[in-house]
């Protein structure tokens, strides 16, 4: 057996595994591409609404980058895990609320929905649809 490789998986099984690995790599590539396109849009909207009034207080313009990154990654996970290109506005608002809560509120507090988060989610959904990153 010197020089020969042995595998308990037959040729058909190996082909199946290779196809699955290629599909996984494509999904990772697609997710990275989606994130690169979506992040600037999400950041622009979060900065525009300035939910904690940090930019009005003249904090650095990257103050909400962590929030925008969390929102981008959460929306991307929804797409990858559920294989959907449409995320309901209330779901986007919840992602925004959770992202804001994680960074700006004590863990012991309840997560609060603000009308502002729903307004942000509507605009975010509209912009992502306009840029072909979500389906209508």
The secondary structure of residue 110, as a DSSP letter, is: P
Is 1 part of any domain? no
Rounded mean pLDDT, 15-26: 74
Of these ranges, 16-25, 59-68, 127-136, the one predicted with the greatest mean pLDDT is: 59-68
List the one residue out of 136, 131, 90 whose CA is nearest residue 113. Answer: 90
Q: Decide: 131 and 37 in contact? Cβ < 8 Å.
A: yes
Instruction: Tell me the per-residue pLDDT of 71-124, one tens digit each, with 9 for 90 and over.
Output: 998 888 765 545 556 788 999 999 999 999 988 888 888 887 789 999 999 999
**Domain annotation covers residue 65:** yes
Average pLDDT over residues 21-44: 80
2 within some domain: no
Asked whether residue 135 is assigned to any structural domain, the reply reads no
In a domain, 3, yes or no: no
Question: At residue 46, does pLDDT exceed 90?
Answer: yes
Let me know if residue 6 belongs to a domain: no
Among 20, 44, 41, 46, CA closest to 104 = 46
Number of domains in the chain: 1
Q: Residue 23: is its pLDDT beyond 80? A: no
Residue 20: domain span: 11-130
Q: 129 with 136: CB under 8 angstroms?
A: yes
Q: H-type helices in the chain, by residue range?
A: 11-49, 65-82, 89-104, 115-130
Residue 81: predicted pLDDT: 47
């Amino acid at each position: 057996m010197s020089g020969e490789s042995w595998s308990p998986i037959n040729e058909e099984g190996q082909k199946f595994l290779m196809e699955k690995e290629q599909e996984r790599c494509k999904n990772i590539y697609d997710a990275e591409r989606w994130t690169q396109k979506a992040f600037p849009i999400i950041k622009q909207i979060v900065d525009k609404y300035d939910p904690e009034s940090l930019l009005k207080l003249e904090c650095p313009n990257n103050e909400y980058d962590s929030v925008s990154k969390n929102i981008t990654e959460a929306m991307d996970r929804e797409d990858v895990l559920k294989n959907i290109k449409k995320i309901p506005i209330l779901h986007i608002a919840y992602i925004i609320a959770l992202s804001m809560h994680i960074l700006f509120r004590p863990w012991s507090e309840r997560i609060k929905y603000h009308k502002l988060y729903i307004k942000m989610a509507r605009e975010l959904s509209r912009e992502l649809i306009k840029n072909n990153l979500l389906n209508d």
